[in-house]
Structure 1
């Protein structure tokens, strides 16, 4: 690669090489074509030597063309930021005032000015750079700052970050356990064919009785309403808002008993099914909710609360509702998503869109009502958690990206990397890599917006939650992105890691919410130590807590790291019984993910060895029920060891991990995956599997009693 092109890539944060975490840890050199493409995506041309030179000069001058950066994320312990001023103003009078975005309080602050030796001539003017160190104490949070230099004034946002993320009082002495559930999978006699927020409230009550302190959830963000069968919770149309399919229709104040009577037969049919029929559940709920919306409009008190909610959510809610209404009108005539719409509808704020909003005000109002009611019901869950006294409560999940055909991207397309999407290079779990087709922030644009879009997304997920899981937490530092065009090579784009960490820490403190980073995949060297230093917990699963880079014997529970949330597996991994019998291997062969019978048999042989290693770990740690040691009687296809899930749960509960999450799929011996990565619903019913036991009956089952008893022996 040409040295100047490499220099441009380095300065733009485009990786020119990377190592994957597949079995061979292959090193990949990034092509010139890929670097040139992403340089252009970031706003810097690199098609020729002359263009590269111009782009490098532009980067040289970039900082010298504005007095202040749009935002400074600075630690509370040393509040320092820089300013660029004309040389003749360096010795001028300075003044600094700040207004807290949390309290609205304005104050003058004390500071020290340090002149730095750097000078730069841009055009006909020479500029100098100064350093401002604030000596006044400022609380964690955001401040609109105004710096006066002589007769000129400059503005910026100061984000004052704590050293570490928030943790509850007494955290050092806590060893907690809880559940990891897919909300949609909760089966109950009262719901409408899918788990809902009332089921979640009832699950909180079950946690209180069993001694659990945390409930991990799948992402509950709003999805594309025109295609309810596209149910992946990790491909949202907006991470700022909730999925209305989780609304308990019967808990809406305007609901009347006859509303259920009319749908009783269909509800019974949907509840009896073992998988969720999104194509029937969603329209059924929406039909009734439209009736309830009309009733709400006749209630002055409810409308007052609704209007207040709409004002608080502002432009973001307007954009979501407008996008949803437009999509409903246009999708049948414009295949290809919003980019195929008429030009005047491809972004908010145009004359055509404003006219549409006026004409369709009532329809937009309905979509806003869905968010109003979902927000109210999720707040009720938060109240249930507080009343139950759970130490952590709801542990929410924030997806790494957003669907490219989404309200988020439609509302601010320039914020996202164009003609490309997020993904992942090959790793040990997914040897061919993953193409997620999710929109990814443009790091330069994100900072130009003072990180406001990122702040809003973190805050929307953290509000009311006791903990927040950051999906693919490595994206705070770097994200693997691929061009839209098939066959094109991807690479990593870098983000300002310190800034992103600082904002996460601020939101953690403001919302009193712990932060957990999902770090399964290609983790940069030293990354886990850096996030641990910020009190960001990592994730751990049984299958990766092994020696020899995850392929040897299982580690002892006492060799687990402390600063982790651990579980047997994840929604992308087979439940324990499915893993034991190798049904996931057979499924992968059937769907062509495993390419040959020989490869399948190789996987079976490896799984047999892994089962021996698991039995050995259970024996050595004496976790079988009644210390009943198991030996080699259970080879592939010859049976399932009685009490295995109890033993595994006790084994995991013994671990040093601060939090252990139990998956109901393991308690009830589920033999199917919730999600098979790399497949769509035409191959596998992802995100549709219900638990086999009704929520009302769980506590009365022997499986539940024995497994929870095993956990509570150790926690």
Structure 2
């Protein structure tokens, strides 16, 4: 029991639920391993008792934590802080300029950062940071539709073999001005781990704090216009090679070759590096360096060291594995030009990201570019090297066994240490969120449930031998909300899969949107809620049928599919089942899978027919895709996401979970139904795309009229 109590003090759950009404104990050795990753020895009874005593002694000494997060709009500061400090402690709150605030006033001060001072009864004093988070984010203005796109797959006739930031700006400007779209949501643009081949997954990056320069539009770097002599001639040769690479990608069944794209861009950037910056550009670069500080210096240093010693810092000479070591400082000094080169790449990329968001807002988009934050980072990459103190060594995040995956999942990403985050005043997490929102109108949080708890898997063990570790959701959500409030951005949580009770309700209360995907929205037993006339909520049995549009939640982004799921055309035709059969991914015989899939699709088509969205007997694929999106427009969802490949009938998923080299994940350009890739210019001229968007806009207008509101 002592070990259970110790685990509870550190937020480690000793049981988990793989399904309703089920509870499975976590193996004792797993609990011991997880606690060890948190710096706690629980290997013996004596060690557990010592750890409990040490925890109690530390708690008694702490007067104020480094950072206290409270929520605005919930009473006075005094009430918000009650129970967070020892009894009898006198508190004072000041602005950052030193002006005292009244703790007892009816509501907390505006969202922001404040200074919290405490004086204990025994005379001890402490100073900490106080964060007042907004009571609730406002969400997007009105309802909006927009495209969900994988930027690498959306290449134009001007890009160098994969979609880039010039294409993003163009996609936003065109869809905002010509189609009335309110946003463009894209894949994570995080810096990748270099290598040959480079891991193409945008969800396993080297750094989440800095973008990948592979997305740069080379010709839009201002210095490009001033290349001269042999450098200009070589740049022309690289442009020609890029055109050949792009033309090759646009053939049927061709794949995006990220490494080939980067090889060309890297050489071009080396040429551009030799062009002196103008005085104004130089001043802007110096300001950028000062603003980005140690984080950028660390990332650029890691990038330099990776060029010399390989992309996994665990394999570097021992003295280079500590970012604060004397050896690292010497290496940085000896190779300062390469460090500066990587800083310069970040500056260029940041500028083009800003230009894309400006293009989106200038086009009339109410939100603009919605960036995607991956749930973690590669264990050998830049962030894992520079932030070792706040990441759990020897642990990986994933998912426990459930009804859909009896073996669980291991994503190979080290988790935040909740204790270390708290001790650091959440500075690494806050910095990450602020950087992601720097050039964004919105932020999608991959696996948003990770702000509440994450499934930790000890290294070398199967994902079934994991345990949930809890985080301070009040702090994590509060800091996220504050940064979004400051940026004027919306937040969308990816809350698909196993979601702990209460999580979605908390997100709604915070003004954070969820994600609702058509095929998952069913009235399952035990999940439907109804009012009982007294204002209280009670559960009622569901029938498992497709959820009608009026029963969908309002606080969400509604879509037909995502990057991890079949396209709508593939779903309607059953081609996704055949694909998984060819790759050996089915858990049942093919005929059973096909029958179940056909029955599921038939239920949705029947509902579309009953709602008058699809004429009876209609089997035309394009008509059904339109009906699906008219259905989404009838839901109360605040945002409607149109998967860009759906607009042209693309059959292929961008990512097929459970595969690695068996399927070309993250390497497919958007294509027509036959698999022939389409450029952004061809997408913009597609009658099928325009027909679908016209239907979406009309359906949104009709839904607004029915509700008596402006669209």
Above 0.5 in TM-score?
Answer: yes
Q: Is 1:705 equivalent to 2:690 in the alignment?
A: yes
* Paired position in structure 2 for 1:60: 56
* Structure 1 CA distance for aligned equivalents of residues 499 and 85 of structure 2: 40
Q: Is 1:491 equivalent to 2:459 in the alignment?
A: no
* Paired position in structure 2 for 1:616: 606
* Structure 2 CA distance for aligned equivalents of residues 593 and 538 of structure 1: 29
2:302 to 323, 341, 346: 323
Q: Is 1:379 equivalent to 2:377 in the alignment?
A: no
RMSD, matched Cα: 2.4
Q: 1:57 to 1:148 in 2, by over 3 A?
A: closer
Q: Is 1:405 equivalent to 2:380 in the alignment?
A: yes
Q: Is 1:5 equivalent to 2:3 in the alignment?
A: yes
1:138 to 109, 126, 141: 109
Shift of 1:554: 2.0
Could you say what secondary structure the match of 2:222 adopts? coil
* Structure 2 CA distance for aligned equivalents of residues 415 and 29 of structure 1: 27
Residue pair 1:166, 1:505 contacting (<8 A) in 2 also? no
- More displaced stretch, 153-162 vs 567-576: 153-162
Residue pair 1:564, 1:657 contacting (<8 A) in 2 also? yes
* Structure 1 CA distance for aligned equivalents of residues 686 and 440 of structure 2: 30
Shift of 1:713: 1.5
* Paired position in structure 2 for 1:122: none
- More displaced stretch, 567-576 vs 218-227: 218-227
Q: Is 1:32 equivalent to 2:12 in the alignment?
A: no
Residue pair 1:67, 1:83 contacting (<8 A) in 2 also? no
1:530 to 506, 513, 516: 506
Q: Deviations over 1:573-613 (max 9, x none)?
A: 00012122333222323333225xx5332211101111211
* Structure 1 CA distance for aligned equivalents of residues 601 and 68 of structure 2: 52
Shift of 1:520: 0.6
* Structure 2 CA distance for aligned equivalents of residues 390 and 356 of structure 1: 46
* Paired position in structure 1 for 2:709: none
Could you say what secondary structure the match of 2:547 adopts? coil
* Structure 2 CA distance for aligned equivalents of residues 451 and 642 of structure 1: 49
Q: 1:176 to 1:61 in 2, by over 3 A?
A: same
Residue pair 1:109, 1:136 contacting (<8 A) in 2 also? no
Residue pair 1:166, 1:508 contacting (<8 A) in 2 also? no
TM norm structure 2: 0.88
* Paired position in structure 1 for 2:203: 234
2:621 to 618, 631, 641: 641
* Paired position in structure 1 for 2:492: 516
Q: 1:8 to 1:262 in 2, by over 3 A?
A: same
Matches within 5 A, 1:43-192: 43-76=39-72, 77-80=75-78, 81=81, 96=92, 98-100=94-96, 105-111=97-103, 138-147=109-118, 153-168=125-140, 171=141, 174-192=142-160
Q: Is 1:41 equivalent to 2:37 in the alignment?
A: yes
* Structure 2 CA distance for aligned equivalents of residues 363 and 551 of structure 1: 62
Could you say what secondary structure the match of 1:384 adopts? helix
Could you say what secondary structure the match of 1:376 adopts? helix
Q: Deviations over 1:2-51 (max 9, x none)?
A: x2222222222111111125xx8754221111111111111211111111
Could you say what secondary structure the match of 1:43 adopts? coil
- More displaced stretch, 574-583 vs 360-369: 574-583
Matches within 5 A, 1:251-650: 251-256=220-225, 258=233, 260-272=235-247, 273=249, 274-296=254-276, 298-331=277-310, 337-427=312-402, 430-487=405-462, 489-548=465-524, 552-595=544-587, 598-624=588-614, 628-630=615-617, 641-650=621-630
Q: 1:136 to 1:175 in 2, by over 3 A?
A: closer
Shift of 1:264: 3.6
Q: 1:498 to 1:572 in 2, by over 3 A?
A: same
* Structure 1 CA distance for aligned equivalents of residues 286 and 143 of structure 2: 43
Q: 1:44 to 1:556 in 2, by over 3 A?
A: same
Residue pair 1:427, 1:521 contacting (<8 A) in 2 also? no
Shift of 1:251: 0.1
Could you say what secondary structure the match of 2:398 adopts? strand
* Paired position in structure 2 for 1:224: 193
Residue pair 1:79, 1:160 contacting (<8 A) in 2 also? no
Q: Is 1:194 equivalent to 2:162 in the alignment?
A: yes
Could you say what secondary structure the match of 1:515 adopts? strand
Aligned length in residues: 660
**5+ residue gaps in structure 1?**
112-132, 635-639
* Structure 1 CA distance for aligned equivalents of residues 217 and 554 of structure 2: 38
Q: Deviations over 1:86-121 (max 9, x none)?
A: 99xx69xx6846343xxxx3313344xxxxxxxxxx
Shift of 1:483: 0.9
Residue pair 1:396, 1:469 contacting (<8 A) in 2 also? yes
* Structure 2 CA distance for aligned equivalents of residues 144 and 352 of structure 1: 37
Shift of 1:57: 1.5
TM norm structure 1: 0.88
* Paired position in structure 2 for 1:671: 651
* Paired position in structure 1 for 2:537: none
Could you say what secondary structure the match of 2:328 adopts? helix
Q: Deviations over 1:530-557 (max 9, x none)?
A: 1111111111001111223699432222
Could you say what secondary structure the match of 1:540 adopts? strand
After TM superposition, the runs of 4+ consecutive aligned structure 1 residues lying more than 4 A away are 82-87, 133-137, 146-153, 257-260, 427-431
Q: 1:35 to 1:706 in 2, by over 3 A?
A: same
Could you say what secondary structure the match of 1:643 adopts? helix
Shift of 1:66: 2.6
Shift of 1:654: 1.9
**5+ residue gaps in structure 2?**
226-231, 526-541, 672-677, 701-711
Shift of 1:670: 0.9
Residue pair 2:173, 2:362 contacting (<8 A) in 1 also? no
